[in-house]
A and B are shown apart, each in its own frame.
Chain A
């Protein structure tokens, strides 16, 4: 399943420019990349969140495919309804335009996916709809003003779990949503980033080709919420993988596989943390233990993942 940049460059861009994403947003890039592979015969759902808000301010829309948004926590359920209706109408020969297959893709941020939309997502995955759910994970509720989410990493400063005189940001590690999705025993689950375009395209292709539900968790560096130069989003996505903070892997029918093997002497996590204002307080004297804790957690998670991938 080779992905060729030359061929890809000829695919139609299905998310038009002129939308209102922030300068340096990697989220709109994620959407564009995914839509390049998905193509026109795709129905898109968006949970309330950054990408929904910036792409569909009435009377404008950036979407060149059908798009539906209904609420924050229900994108998976909404798309599951559309996907079911496709089957029901097709069965009776009543589709508005005849198609053997239409892709159904639901997009949600980490707030809409890890947290408020988890029930709706879990239900849709368990029911076996032929749909792909993509979480663009920018590790906090960015759309509402950078509040802590279940995806926010340990130590990160957010507006609801700020670093202050006695607290040092979030005091819990993030939940492992990707593994929660694996536990649904669906045919395809993966993690990727927008920097690794080939990896992402390959995973989207696989996810759309399987018969049944698929889930891809995509790290989305956020210039505003993380606090970095808007030019550096892709670089930060790359670094997150190189330091094992966001490993690239896929789980096909329950089988784990690393899709990118970082060097044995992986980049220390502090190199990545240093690049972002949200971790600045961790470098104050007295917080060395917190940095150690993050490294310990990253190493621990990586060890567990390698074991699952048969790489240990």
Chain B
């Protein structure tokens, strides 16, 4: 298939993909750095490139609430947010998943207040990691575009019916122009397809009325939560199918996580988002020097592919998990905790250490990653080291 080679920011690329998916409804409220995604989408609507009804709400809480009301009718629905906006909608983010509504939402990752900070880290999305949404993470503009097309097929699959959060780093991805391949509109539409409005229930079917969001007491709530857990367990196989089909169509092959030069790696860095790009560059240079280091970049953080990750990391001697968020009072960051737990049952576990880095958009340059790799090397040689470490902070 012929693709179009363009230069777009992450926000523009995602808006383009969403335009191609022809959503019915998009509630929107501004917050940096998500704003430009909605600006671009509003331009498409204003120019008649897509006939989506936008609801320009007065808060993120209302954005997600309106998305719930819309998606409950069967309408294809998205909104987008960042940071404090995500925190404000937290209550209804849970409800969207509980009602099994296939809403798609970019979370353009930004630090949480306070102090107020508009720059990138992952504390916003990590606060919502247990909300029942599928969480997909992107390294660059291309991946953000691709996931913004694929998310509909995943969310709306009849055996999934769950909302999907697409994470991409604020400013680093959202505001940086990169060259990427996009699909022509008609091919994108052929891939995404129309929303199946025949299966399932609609709030607008006044001839077959349903009650959505009733009160659950002790006799049913637990079972309803289990049905969400079961849906999340079913999701990976459908995500894999969508990845496969997209790969065949575009030549861009995705999996739950990407393994970069890990085949013979003694040292493996695990990371989410744009840091993976920087790490790859450093790894290439280190490989030139003979250092056996690789990277594992996670796309699918929820549901968490524990068994697959354990297998992939089983051959490493030392694993360094990079967390761009802090778990205050906890022992290490959220990604570290999940990885370490996933590896616990391995007959021979690698050493696993954690680095908290880049909070509030502190730049994570190649020197920091080199320093991290040097520490991994030292640990491999038997040097004692802290389990939880900091990277790039003044102490």
Query: Which A residues are within 8 Å of any B CB, using their own CB?
Result: 40-43, 45, 52-53, 56-59, 61, 63-71, 73-74, 77-89, 91-92, 94-97, 99, 102, 119-120, 122-124, 126-127
B304 → chain A closest CB, angstroms: 27
The 23 listed contacts between A and B (C-beta, < 8 Å) are: A40-B206, A42-B206, A52-B215, A58-B220, A65-B209, A68-B203, A74-B62, A81-B77, A82-B69, A82-B70, A82-B73, A84-B53, A84-B66, A85-B24, A85-B25, A85-B204, A89-B204, A97-B204, A97-B205, A119-B59, A120-B61, A122-B58, A127-B56
Residues of B with C-beta under 8 A to A96: 74, 197, 202, 204-205
Residues of B with C-beta under 8 A to A85: 24-25, 53, 69-71, 73-75, 77, 204
Residues of A with C-beta under 8 A to B192: none
Task: Report how far A78 CA is from B99 CA in the complex, Å.
Answer: 13
Q: Are B70 and A70 in contact (CB under 8 A)?
A: no
Query: Could you tell me how many residues of chain B have their Cβ less than 8 Å away from some Cβ of chain A?
Result: 47
Q: Are B204 and A61 in contact (CB under 8 A)?
A: no
Task: Report how far A70 CA is from B342 CA in the complex, Å.
Answer: 35
Q: Are B204 and A102 in contact (CB under 8 A)?
A: yes
Q: Are A71 and B69 in contact (CB under 8 A)?
A: no
- Given known A-B contacts A57-B217, A65-B206, A85-B24, A70 and B95 have beta carbons under 8 A apart: yes
Task: Report how far A68 CA is from B203 CA in the complex, Å.
Answer: 8
- Given known A-B contacts A43-B204, A78-B69, A85-B70, A66 and B62 have beta carbons under 8 A apart: no
Indicate with 1 or 0, residue by residue over B63-80, a CB within 8 angstroms of chain A CB atoms.
101111111111101000
Please give me the residue from chain A that is nearest to B209 by CB atom: A66
Residues of B with C-beta under 8 A to A79: 69
Q: Are B204 and A95 in contact (CB under 8 A)?
A: yes
B366 → chain A closest CB, angstroms: 45
Judged by a CB distance under 8 angstroms, whether B102 is at the interface is no
Task: Report how far A91 CA is from B213 CA in the complex, Å.
Answer: 27
Q: Are A70 and B53 in contact (CB under 8 A)?
A: no
Q: Are A59 and B220 in contact (CB under 8 A)?
A: yes
Residues of A with C-beta under 8 A to B65: 70-71, 74, 77-78, 81, 120
Q: Are A66 and B204 in contact (CB under 8 A)?
A: yes
Residues of B with C-beta under 8 A to A89: 24, 73-75, 197, 204
| Count of CB-CB pairs between chains A and B under 8 Å | 176
- Given known A-B contacts A58-B216, A66-B210, A80 and B91 have beta carbons under 8 A apart: no
Task: Report how far A42 CA is from B207 CA in the complex, Å.
Answer: 10
Most buried by B among A59, A66, A68: A66
Residues of A with C-beta under 8 A to B264: none
- Known contacts A58-B217, A66-B212, A67-B210; 9 further A-B pairs (Cβ under 8 A): A43-B206, A66-B204, A70-B99, A84-B55, A85-B77, A96-B202, A123-B57, A123-B62, A126-B58
Residues of B with C-beta under 8 A to A83: 69
Q: Are A127 and B204 in contact (CB under 8 A)?
A: no
A42 → chain B closest CB, angstroms: 7
A40 → chain B closest CB, angstroms: 6
Q: Are B203 and A43 in contact (CB under 8 A)?
A: yes
Please give me the residue from chain A that is nearest to B220 by CB atom: A58
- Given known A-B contacts A57-B217, A69-B213, A120-B61, A41 and B95 have beta carbons under 8 A apart: no
Residues of A with C-beta under 8 A to B197: 89, 94, 96
Please give me the residue from chain B that is nearest to A57 by CB atom: B215
Judged by a CB distance under 8 angstroms, whether B365 is at the interface is no
Indicate with 1 or 0, residue by residue over B188-216, a CB within 8 angstroms of chain A CB atoms.
00000000010000111111011111111
Judged by a CB distance under 8 angstroms, whether B32 is at the interface is no
Residues of B with C-beta under 8 A to A99: 204, 206
Residues of B with C-beta under 8 A to A41: 206
Task: Report how far A120 CA is from B57 CA in the complex, Å.
Answer: 8
Judged by a CB distance under 8 angstroms, whether B85 is at the interface is no
Residues of A with C-beta under 8 A to B70: 81-82, 84-85, 88
Residues of B with C-beta under 8 A to A86: 73, 204
Task: Report how far A74 CA is from B72 CA in the complex, Å.
Answer: 15
Task: Report how far A263 CA is from B53 CA in the complex, Å.
Answer: 50
Residues of B with C-beta under 8 A to A97: 204-207
B214 → chain A closest CB, angstroms: 4
Task: Report how far A99 CA is from B206 CA in the complex, Å.
Answer: 9
Residues of B with C-beta under 8 A to A58: 214-217, 220
A-B CB proximity, top 5 nearest: A81-B69, A123-B58, A81-B66, A74-B65, A77-B62
Residues of A with C-beta under 8 A to B210: 66-67
Residues of A with C-beta under 8 A to B211: 56, 61, 63, 66-68
Judged by a CB distance under 8 angstroms, whether B262 is at the interface is no
- Given known A-B contacts A84-B25, A127-B56, A69 and B214 have beta carbons under 8 A apart: yes
Judged by a CB distance under 8 angstroms, whether B87 is at the interface is no
Judged by a CB distance under 8 angstroms, whether B142 is at the interface is no
Q: Are A57 and B214 in contact (CB under 8 A)?
A: yes
Q: Are B56 and A82 in contact (CB under 8 A)?
A: no
Q: Are B204 and A82 in contact (CB under 8 A)?
A: yes
B28 → chain A closest CB, angstroms: 12
A120 → chain B closest CB, angstroms: 5
- Given known A-B contacts A58-B214, A74-B65, A85-B77, A68 and B57 have beta carbons under 8 A apart: no
> For window 213-231 of chain B, which residues contact chain A by CB distance below 8 Å?
213-217, 220
Residues of A with C-beta under 8 A to B215: 52-53, 56-58, 69
Task: Report how far A73 CA is from B212 CA in the complex, Å.
Answer: 17
